[in-house]
């Protein structure tokens, strides 16, 4: 199996193209290959597949073997891969995802290669039961959650996958390892959840750290950055266009008033290529 190691702001993936469908035992394969000590090492295994609805189809298997409905950093990597490797010559393409349907992608080309990718991430889902949470409200904004004697307040957003945005005094120094896994599996979240810890510094910028469902702490999360801006607008913290600063770099996010869609702009990079034997 030939693969390409890629990343979006440090959120890294093993990208495989040329298959017609997911292989058997793909969950076990992802766990094996994504292991950072005994495998290639990555946050997820990404397959670029044929699509009947779009130019390409993306499937993402997390490092724990579970499947992700959507991933903003992965979709930018896929977009860069298909253009840079000659699978398309278009600078506007569509990519089918498991949880967010078909998404439109705009490529910025420099020197014959993709420099940045702007993704129409679609409309955010705000209904509590649809995110999903167990909270039956049209919008779950600044809602209390109790955990081991500590109370957090969260805002729930789905960007094709579920997110729980929590505001803290210092996101950069927040203890992800202590609270991330406990919040991910809290009973309020029936399908588990991605957890973003956010500090807003201005109406145009926020710091965010993430505990990703199925992957743990990662350097970046594109859907999490989108959820962060949506949540921050709902809470009155930021404007509808803002930069989200992650450990791996910055993403520009816009929640458009015109069509209610969220747009994410950021880079992707190739790291190396290789072949898995056996």
Q: Please identify every residue annotated as catalytic.
A: 71, 221
Q: How many residues does the chain have?
A: 278
Assigned token pair, 189: 């979240």
Q: Is the dihedral of CA 227, 232, 233, 235 positive or negative?
A: positive
CA distance 114 to 117: 7
CA distance 227 to 162: 9
**CB contact at 8 A, 264 and 239:** no
Residue closest to 46 by CA, chosen among 85, 121, 98: 98
What is each CA distance from 135 to 20, 141, 148, 151, in whole angstroms? 39, 11, 20, 16
């Amino acid at each position: 199996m030939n693969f390409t190691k890629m990343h979006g702001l440090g959120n890294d993936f093993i990208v495989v193209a040329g298959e017609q469908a997911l292989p058997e035992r793909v969950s076990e394969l992802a766990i094996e290959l994504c292991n950072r000590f005994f495998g290639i090492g990555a946050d997820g295994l990404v397959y670029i597949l044929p699509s009947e609805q779009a130019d390409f189809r993306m499937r993402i298997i997390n490092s724990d073997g579970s499947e992700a409905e959507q991933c903003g950093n992965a979709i930018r990597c896929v977009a860069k891969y298909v253009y840079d490797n000659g699978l398309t010559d278009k600078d506007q393409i569509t990519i089918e995802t498991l949880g967010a349907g078909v998404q439109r992608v705009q490529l910025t080309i420099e020197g014959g290669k993709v420099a940045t990718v702007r993704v129409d991430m679609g409309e955010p889902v705000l209904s509590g039961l649809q995110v999903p949470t167990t909270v039956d409200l049209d919008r779950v904004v600044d809602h209390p959650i109790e955990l081991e004697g500590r109370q957090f307040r969260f805002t729930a957003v789905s960007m094709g996958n579920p997110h729980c945005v929590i505001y803290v005094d210092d996101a950069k120094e927040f203890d992800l390892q202590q609270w991330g896994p406990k919040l991910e599996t809290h009973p309020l979240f029936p399908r588990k959840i991605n957890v973003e810890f956010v500090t807003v510094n201005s109406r145009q910028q926020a710091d965010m750290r993430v505990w990703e469902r199925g992957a743990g702490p990662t350097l970046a999360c594109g859907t999490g950055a989108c959820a962060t801006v949506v949540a921050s607008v709902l809470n009155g913290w930021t404007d509808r266009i803002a930069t989200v600063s992650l450990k791996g770099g910055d993403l520009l996010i816009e929640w458009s008033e015109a069509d209610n869609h969220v747009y994410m702009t950021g880079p992707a990079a190739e790291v190396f290529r290789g072949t898995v034997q056996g």
